[in-house]
Structure 1
Amino acid sequence: MDGAPGSRITVSGGATELVVMWAGFPLLGAAAGWLLAAAAGWVADLPWAPAQGLFEALSRLPQPQVTIGAAVVGAVAGGLLAGAGHAERLTVGVDGAGVGLRRDGRQRDVARREVRVVFVDGKDLVLLDADGGELVRERSDLDRDRLRSAFRAHGWPWAEEDPHRAAYRLWVPGLPGLPVGADALLRARQDALTRDRRDDVRELRRELGRIGVVVRDDERRQYWRLTMRAVLPTSEEPTPSEPGQDRR
């Protein structure tokens, strides 16, 4: 985290994380490739070893060329993994006017006036608006204390936990109390969670937010609450989430 009082404070993984990714991953990949090639003959002689055909083929290739080649391939694979990890890093910049969130080359800015409260939920940085809806939910490994210090330094309303946590209810198919269309979206999202289709999970979260439903996940279970914007069928009374309701 850097920045003088009054200036924008940036919170990111820092130089150590970059060194671990860009140096550590290729080195680990190279070591794994070298060990795979070096041990191929020994593994090929084990009758219970899996993929014996692959190890037998490796053991017949000339040395040291095959070992060097395997180490190079492992290093390249480690570099690709480091590149993917670098793209997924979240960088948060905070000042008195707003917050900027950058990931995978995309920048998102949220004005301070739109935000009622900021907190960390598990590994998710969350910003809520005045109606209780989620403006931002971004997963990262950023340090909670550094985020707290950055937001508080500029007077943002920081909470130590979700102020609406007690309002969440376990989603069960067909459960009453949801806006029209929300149950179908939650069914689709549950299927996406089960299949680990992360893009669909995020997009369906956004669709639910548009109709006043906030969803959080516990393992592969979905919990939901309503915001002040939720519109329920006329036969049901609205139950917008407020702090102090019975905890699930």
Structure 2
Amino acid sequence: MTVVMWDGATVVAVPVWERVLIALGFPALGMAAGWGLIAVADRVVGLDWAPFQGPFRLIAKIPEPWATLGAVALGLVAGVLLVLTAIGERLTVTVRHDAALLARPDTAARTVARRDVAAVFTDGKALVLQGADGAEHAREVSDLRQADLRAAFTAHGYPWRADGDPYADRFRLWVPDLAGLPEGANALLAARAKALKKSDAAESAVLLAELHRLGVVVRVEKGRQYWRTANPA
């Protein structure tokens, strides 16, 4: 990871070399996969036990060089799409004495004021900024190293918790129509379960923000949602 001091702030981000590797590597792998598909198509058609005989027979009938050129081009497009997805999901954390900014290339930066942060910790791969009332002002999943994040936040006086979430034992597994939730929370959690299943990060984030408005804190483990209310004392 890259940790940079700039204009009184500490920036934690994915290093440039990794971004270059993604930008060049994914398209190259995509083209190689397309070429490999054409190379094995004739062999697969000759194997009666091999699956997907229909698609491979169709591919084998395409004349050369159009089959190879088309497969390589499709692999290139797939690789570029993967690059855009991967780079768009990369989190950059900028820590200042008065605020922390969490940004991704494809979304607006989220700013959390220092005065609103009572605890900073990691929960698995998620960076969490928590308020004094137990509410979460940010929960962002990334591949940034915990050591780099800890160094950045402690350098600016934020209260880093090495032991993690102080309210971890208060989370409960959510199931449909669960009692004890604020009005409207069950419907939001049900909608978010569908969004998570579809890997719709944007919709999931919108629904999570609405849950936060109701005072409900949510974490996800192995596709399941666990919840607790803010003001847990």
Alignment pair present for 1:218 and 2:218? no
Amino-acid identity (%): 47
Task: Return the TM-score normalized by structure 2.
Answer: 0.87
Bigger Cα Rg: 1
Find the counterpart in structure 2 of residue 106 from structure 1: 108
Partner-residue secondary structure (3-state), 1:201:
helix
Seen in structure 2, the aligned counterparts of structure 1 residues 174 and 107 have a Cα distance that, compared at 3 Å, is closer
Find the counterpart in structure 1 of residue 160 from structure 2: 158
Partner-residue secondary structure (3-state), 1:39:
helix
Does the 8 A contact of 2:129 with 2:137 survive in 1?
A: yes
Find the counterpart in structure 2 of residue 20 from structure 1: 21
- Indicate the structure with greater strand content: 2
- 2-structure distance, mates of 1:122, 1:34: 38
Seen in structure 2, the aligned counterparts of structure 1 residues 212 and 60 have a Cα distance that, compared at 3 Å, is closer
Within a 5 Å distance, the mapping from 1:155-194 to structure 2 comes to 155-160=157-162, 161-194=164-197
Find the counterpart in structure 2 of residue 71 from structure 1: 72
Task: Return the TM-score normalized by structure 1.
Answer: 0.82
The C-alpha deviation readout for 1:52-111, integer Å capped at 9, x for no partner, is 333233333333443233223212211121111111111111121211111115222222
Q: Which amino acid in 1 is paired with 2:76?
A: A
- 2-structure distance, mates of 1:39, 1:116: 58
Consecutive unaligned residues of structure 2, counting only runs of 5 or more, are none
Q: Which amino acid in 2 is paired with 1:157?
A: P
Does the 8 A contact of 2:38 with 2:60 survive in 1?
A: yes
Find the counterpart in structure 2 of residue 91 from structure 1: 92
Seen in structure 2, the aligned counterparts of structure 1 residues 192 and 84 have a Cα distance that, compared at 3 Å, is closer
Seen in structure 2, the aligned counterparts of structure 1 residues 51 and 7 have a Cα distance that, compared at 3 Å, is same
- 1-structure distance, mates of 2:211, 2:191: 11
Deviation at 1:221, TM superposition (A): 2.6
Equivalent pairs, count = 230
Seen in structure 2, the aligned counterparts of structure 1 residues 57 and 218 have a Cα distance that, compared at 3 Å, is closer
Find the counterpart in structure 1 of residue 130 from structure 2: 128
- 2-structure distance, mates of 1:189, 1:65: 44
Deviation at 1:146, TM superposition (A): 0.8
Partner-residue secondary structure (3-state), 1:2:
strand
- 1-structure distance, mates of 2:183, 2:50: 55
Which deviates the most, 124-133 or 2-11?
A: 2-11
Q: Which amino acid in 2 is paired with 1:3?
A: V
Alignment pair present for 1:203 and 2:206? yes
Seen in structure 2, the aligned counterparts of structure 1 residues 209 and 49 have a Cα distance that, compared at 3 Å, is same
Tell me the C-alpha RMSD between the 2 structures. 2.3
Q: Which amino acid in 2 is paired with 1:220?
A: G
- 1-structure distance, mates of 2:185, 2:59: 55
- 2-structure distance, mates of 1:199, 1:14: 25
Seen in structure 2, the aligned counterparts of structure 1 residues 112 and 35 have a Cα distance that, compared at 3 Å, is same
The C-alpha deviation readout for 1:128-185, integer Å capped at 9, x for no partner, is 1222111111111111111111111111111120111122223344544333333343
- 2-structure distance, mates of 1:150, 1:5: 12
